[in-house]
Chain A
Amino acid sequence: MLNLLVLIPALPLAGFILLALRGRQFPAAANAWIGTGSIGLSALFSIMVAINFVGNPPEGNVFIQTLWTWMQFDGNPVTLSFSLDSLSLIMILVITMVGFLIHLYSTEFMRNEEGYSRFFAFMNLFVGSMLILVLAGDFLLLYIGWEGVGLCSYLLIGFWYRDKDNGKAARKAFIVTRIGDVGMLIGIFLLFLHFETFNIQSVMQAAPKTWQIGSSLAILAAFLFLLGAIGKSAQVPLQVWLPDAMAGPTPVSALIHAATMVTAGVYLIARLHVLFEIAPVIQTMIAIIGAVTLLIAACSAMVQRDIKRVLAYSTISQIGYMFLALGVGAWSAAIFHFMTHAFFKALLFLAAGVVILAQNHEHDMFNMGGLRSLLPLPFVVFVIGAASLSALPLVTAGFYSKDFILLSAWYSPSGSALLWVAGIIGAFLTSIYAFRMVFITFFGVSKIPISHRPGFFMITPLIILAFFSIFGGYIELPETHHFSSFLSPVFGIPGEQPINGEGVLEFGASLVSLSGIFLALLFYVLRPEYAGAFREVPFFASLGTFWFSGWKFDALYDRLLVRPFFLIVRKSKNDFIDAVYTGIAYLNRAIHNNLVRTQTGNLRWYAMGITVGAVVFLGILLVR
């Protein structure tokens, strides 16, 4: 039964091949059926595999499926394989199910777009690559999936290819993540050099035996993989590509740039947690990166006008939470938050898509308003999503996962009060920007008439995701730990946390979340003049611009890297090495032009030349 595993990524890939080769000839409905159907089947197989895996766990809680021999190194075959354990099981379930819902939604959302078949082809390729990434049993397959999702991200950000800016955003995403990827590739080389294998399991078993905790090679290897992770997961300082990536269609943002691909870095670190455990410096670095990122991005999210950019910065910030969890060694907390985030962020994006479509492709929230009564159902689900994002106490999934992270940041041996404070401030900012979005978009007066009402295919995924955004958290309550005990074969059994003070911390976090929502209510509904008064103060105004531009990271990189690079390109485009050869040719011609003058055709000159030459040579002979 577990042998069906290979079908899970194979079906989306088959869908891609079919759509890429013949999609243009098919009618739109057939494209939608193939594109969505392949993911649906893949989700069904995932569920079947999951039931089988839980009911009848394989030996050692890992199931390995060997594919084929790809290369050979010094005569040793390098074989590709899938490996299924509880971590990858959770990943494939989330990817296929959320993926399926987003595909379903897209059948309607993309209906009138040029390139309908191209869209589904790329989406299928994406899901296939993402599944390969999380199922990979070795670094090579992992890297194939890793680059594959990057490619799809590029192709889909630039889906509306006529607009130059979309192309620019797409290239930026690819290039920035590639920088991280090259680091990761070198990390793979390093591990291969020392352990002579690409198999992740073998390396993870051998590494702690070979390298001591804190040894420089372990730190170097962990650092290189961290580079790959921060590139893909848009963490500081490589976060700059994600806000621009919103140029792609909204379902793409939901699937790739919120629910799945951008969390690949989180998955990578969780998958290699053994390596990071023997590099404590890097683990601290991860926690700090996470804390910094979640704060920076949350500030930027508070001042955006474009609804999708708010969500983009929010995604960066939420992944910052996951990094924070990873940094303090709370592996299952990170994965738990990945899962709940996939639900509520996909929900928010899809609901935003409904709004954008209804407002005639307007993205600016300040041009919207009053949609509460016009689009009641999208309003309700959007509020559910925003509540889950703000970790509204007790009733949302986001509360349980974020609470898990905050508690771990406090209690974990590598955690600290400072990290907890960063998380709490972040939580406060999160609930402000989440409900700022709700109040600006759905309250006030309507400015643009409704141009499109969502149909069955767009509504259904919203309802299902809203359901999970609320109830998805109950599998990991502070008392039960179903989720983390399911993951314990991978991450080990977590040590008992001290109970004293837990209630106080939880209560504090809840209070912070509620007060953020209240503040948003005050500023955007009850007393809008307060917000105006804030903007009057020059300091806050310039701070707002600074945050709006994403803390000027783009401008910095532009000055520091992009412009100097293109200056070099412009200066060297004529190939100065060629000039050396041209110089030689020129010199030869000059000598030729001078020597040619001696060829006068006058016999007298030639005779004299011979005589003088003879005298000189004879003279030399005589002198010697």
Chain B
Amino acid sequence: MEIPYTVEIRRDTGLTNGKIGIWLFLASEVMLFGALFASYILIRTGSPSWPRGDTILDVPLATFNTIVLISSSVTMVMAWASLMRRRFGTFRIYMGATILLGFTFLVVKYFEYSHHLHLGEFPRTNNFLAIYYTLTGLHMLHVMGGMAVNAYFWGPGAKQWKTNPEWFTNRVEHSGLFWHFVDLVWIFLFPTLYLL
């Protein structure tokens, strides 16, 4: 059975179903991270003292990761633009770069976590570390999820380009929207946890 409105626009919404679906999903994601940010505010304001993030966390490393993630957002949108120009080879290069940048982010995060765990700084150690591990851990899971989807479109999923290029382009746009959202969350996490 053919899935309706994957390429053609619905007359009532002016959008494809996939576009509405991904935005509704992102709305739920905003509330998920919003709840954790609210928890952070409540724990911080209710605490008699709170450490500055840069006294515990590695700011240069996190700044590097911020640059990596922003760069991956650019390569992601360039991958989509390449498909819009019907340049599949260029799409593969940009999408590959996006996946590699995501991987770089995870490797840096691994070293960051390892350092803290080696020092005996666990989530149970104090409230700051508890909220740090929770927020960055959930964000990291999103990076992994986005990478898995992007890797699928770079690899086996790319076969669809030959049979239905418009649908494939739409799917890449939707995975891009998720990836940009992951970048957007980090843009708020970075100053909140590391700099304030």
A and B together in one complex: no
Interface residues of B (CB under 8 A from A): none
Interface residues of A (CB under 8 A from B): none
